[in-house]
Every structure is written in C-alpha cells, then in structure tokens.
Amino acid sequence: MRSIKTLIAGLAVALLCVTGTFADDAINLNEVGAMLVYPVVVANDDLGWDEGGGGPDVETFITMTNAGAEEVWAHVSYINGDKRHDECYECDFTIPLSGNDTETLVITDGNYGGIQIKSLDTDLELACDWDYGMIVVTLEEEDGTTVTRNVLLGEEVIVDYDEGLAVSIPAVSFQGKDGGDGNREYAMDDNEYGKMPRIVAADFLAPRDGRHHESDD
C-alpha cells in the first residue's frame, strides 16, 4: 500500500507546471493568500489502497474560504499527478464565492476511471481523468481576468474508509503581489505571487501497509 508521503513525492512533476523561483523564508500556511495549492488529491483504489476493490474507498474533501467581504470567483484546476505522463494535463472550472463563504468539494471515485468532483454546497459535478493529482485555486474576475487579492484560506482532508483514518493537510497559501498581468500564467517570482518554499512540512500519519504480523503464540 502506498503512503500519502509517497504520493506527495510523486506529485513533484505536477508542481513544476507552475513557474517560479524558491524563497529562503518559509510560507505562512495560516495567512490568507491569492493562490491555494492542495498537494495531494486521491479518490481511487488503483493506487493499491484497497486490494479488494469496489466502492470509493478513498475520498478527498477540499474546503476553500473567501475571508473577504466581497464576492470573488475561484478558478479551480485539478492537475494530473501521474509521473508517467510528460505533461501536466488539467481539468478546470470556475465557481463563485460570496463574502465570508466556504465551498466544500468532494473528490470521489469516477467508477470507470478518473475521478468526480462534486460540490457539497451547489449542484456542481464534474468528471475528470487521472486517479490522483493536485488542485490549484486562484482568483479571477467574472470575465476571467486573474486577480491577486489575498482573501483565500483552505484545507483538505483525505479519508481512507477501509483503514479507518483521515489525514488533514492545510493548503499551501501563496500571497499575491501587485505585479500580476491578469492571465493564467502564474509566476511565483515575488512580483505576481510569493516565491515557492524550498521545503514544505506538515503533520503526517502514515496508513498501515496491509501486512499484519502474527504473534508467535
């Protein structure tokens, strides 16, 4: 059984889809930002989480909060994390967030491959390829122009029903700067967004590997 730590390592390819340089200082995960990165999204048993198969054994729950008073539009990109692919394919959509509003998305098994993204607050339902990856959320005007207003907070929870465990991971928050040009080419250069951290650390609880050791009795 693969651990969540292994998945994070495998998603390094997806992280390279966003251009940027690295910061010497750590990012404050509790600070509101203009971009959120959810580093691990998984919702299928193809990774070996459940050798028996059947049913959504693992689901990921994503929350994003608009901490500001004004309505914003959240552009959500689910990016393929399979390192066997040379390119960073994505599946994206945009949803409104009213002031002081929280949106919850559940990423679940797509039954015939891939995943389904469903909103617990609206009628949004979207099918995407790829069993695991990452999610990036940015802010836009209603016309699609990217804005770097710092109002976003987020968290994800990965639930493994077979193992009876849940892992909570804070979204990596990137603070927006004043140098954005309004397009969807996001630069972590301390001009449009803050730089990427050299190291990201979070609390981690590894699931069991499925190998049970019998006693000698």
Express each pLDDT in 120-143 by its tens digit: 988 899 998 877 889 999 999 988
Please tell me which residue, 164 or 78, carries the higher pLDDT value: 78
CB-CB contact of 90 with 14 (8 Å) = no
Q: List Cβ neighbours of 119 (8 Å cut-off, separation of 6 or more).
A: 95, 103, 104, 105, 125
Tell whether the model's pLDDT for residue 17 goes beyond 90.
no
Confidence of residue 187 (pLDDT cuts 50, 70, 90): confident
Please tell me which residue, 126 or 20, carries the higher pLDDT value: 126
Please tell me which residue, 40 or 17, carries the higher pLDDT value: 40
Q: What type of residue is 6?
A: T
First to last CA, the chain: 27
Instruction: For residue 129, give the nearest of 100, 97, 90 by alpha carbon.
Output: 90
Instruction: For residue 64, give the nearest of 153, 4, 172 by alpha carbon.
Output: 153
Q: Mean of the pLDDT values across residues 45-72?
A: 75
Helix-strand-coil percent breakdown of the chain, rounded to 5?
5, 40, 55
* Range with lowest mean pLDDT among 34-48, 50-64, 194-208: 194-208
**What is the biggest distance separating any 2 CA atoms in the chain, rounded to whole angstroms?**
69
Instruction: For residue 147, give the nearest of 184, 102, 92, 172 by alpha carbon.
Output: 184
Please give the share of the chain, as a percent, with pLDDT higher than 70: 67
Please tell me which residue, 171 or 132, carries the higher pLDDT value: 171
Distance CA(175)–CA(160), nearest Å, equals: 31
Instruction: For residue 143, give the nearest of 101, 182, 185, 177 by alpha carbon.
Output: 182
Tell whether the model's pLDDT for residue 9 goes beyond 80.
no
Enumerate the β-bridge partners of residue 134: 79
| pLDDT at residue 201, as a whole number | 57
Tell whether the model's pLDDT for residue 53 goes beyond 70.
no
According to CATH, the topology of domain 4-197 is Hypothetical Protein Tm1070; Chain: A (2.60.290)
Tell whether the model's pLDDT for residue 78 goes beyond 50.
yes
**DSSP assignment string, 52-69:** T--S--EEEEEEEEE-SS
Average pLDDT value for the chain: 77
Please give the share of the chain, as a percent, with pLDDT higher than 90: 35
| Residue 18 neighbours by CB distance under 10 Å | 20
CB-CB contact of 64 with 103 (8 Å) = yes
Distance CA(169)–CA(157), nearest Å, equals: 6
Q: What type of residue is 141?
A: E
Distance CA(192)–CA(73), nearest Å, equals: 18
Distance CA(140)–CA(72), nearest Å, equals: 7
